[in-house]
Amino acid sequence: MESVSNVDKLESIKSLQSTINKLENAAAQMTQNGANTTLVKKRLKAVYISLAVLENVWSQCPHHYTQEELAEARKVITGLLSSVKSSYAKSKTGSPQRTLLERRIKALQLSIQAIDKFSDIY
């Protein structure tokens, strides 16, 4: 895994925590409205796993996820990364939204690298 500055580590952790918060709020609202929450819950679990794996790599915090869970999270995060990159391409240069998306992209890319470090299937 690439060498990551403390600033990038902090921004990535905050970005994933923000993503978790957004997904939890979306899941709650969708549940309240009777909408299908399968995709949101899948993404939420994958981001939780991503955060745990990054914390493990950077702070030696243990995680309890299996190889299967890591593989599924990697697949979901890869799909989410494509979605975020698409939003980034549509965002205005210099906007706060673009900055947020840049940080989210970096966090997701680092998550994939960290998952790969733990997975014996890649």
How does pLDDT run across 2-28, given as a tens digit for each residue? 689 999 999 999 999 999 999 999 999
The domain that contains 65 carries what CATH number? 1.20.1440
- In-domain check, residue 41: yes
Residue 54 CA to residue 64 CA, distance in Å, equals 13
pTM for the predicted model, two decimal places: 0.91
Domain, as residue range, for 102: 6-118
| pLDDT tier at 1, thresholds 50, 70, 90 | low
With a cut of 60, say whether residue 121 has pLDDT above it.
Answer: no
For 2, which DSSP code?
Answer: -
Q: Can you give the pLDDT at residue 2?
A: 65
- In-domain check, residue 85: yes
- In-domain check, residue 74: yes
| Mean per-residue pLDDT of the chain | 93
